[in-house]
Amino acid sequence: MLKMPKIAMLSTEGKSARFIDFHHLMEVLQTHGRLPSSNTLYRILTKVECLIIDDFACMNIHDADLLDSLYVLLRTRIDDHLSPKTKKKIRATFATTHHHLEDWPRHLIGDDFKVLQIINILYGRGTLLSIDEKAPRIEEEENTSSSSETTR
Domain spans in the chain, listed from the N-terminal domain onward: 8-150
Closest CA to 104 of 22, 5, 17, 38: 22
Question: What would the pLDDT profile of 41-87 be if each residue is shown by its tens digit?
Answer: 888 888 888 888 888 877 777 777 888 888 888 888 877 555 566 55
Q: Is 46 left (phi over 0), alpha (psi -120 to 50) or beta?
A: alpha
pLDDT of residue 95: 82
pLDDT of residue 11: 44
Domain 8-150 class?
Answer: alpha beta
Show the 3-state SS of 67-85.
HHHHHHHHHHHHHHHHCHH
- Could you say which DSSP state residue 33 is in? T
pLDDT of residue 22: 86
Q: Is 13 left (phi over 0), alpha (psi -120 to 50) or beta?
A: left
Q: How many CB atoms lie within 10 A of CB 83?
A: 11
Residue 151's pLDDT band (boundaries 50, 70, 90)? low
Question: What would the pLDDT profile of 80-138 be if each residue is shown by its tens digit?
Answer: 555 566 555 667 888 888 777 777 777 776 667 777 888 888 777 777 776 666 656 65
Give the residue, 113 or 14, on which the prediction is more confident: 113
Range of lowest pLDDT (3-7, 10-14, 37-41):
3-7
pLDDT of residue 89: 64
Task: Say how far apart CA 141 and CA 128 lie, in whole Å.
Answer: 28
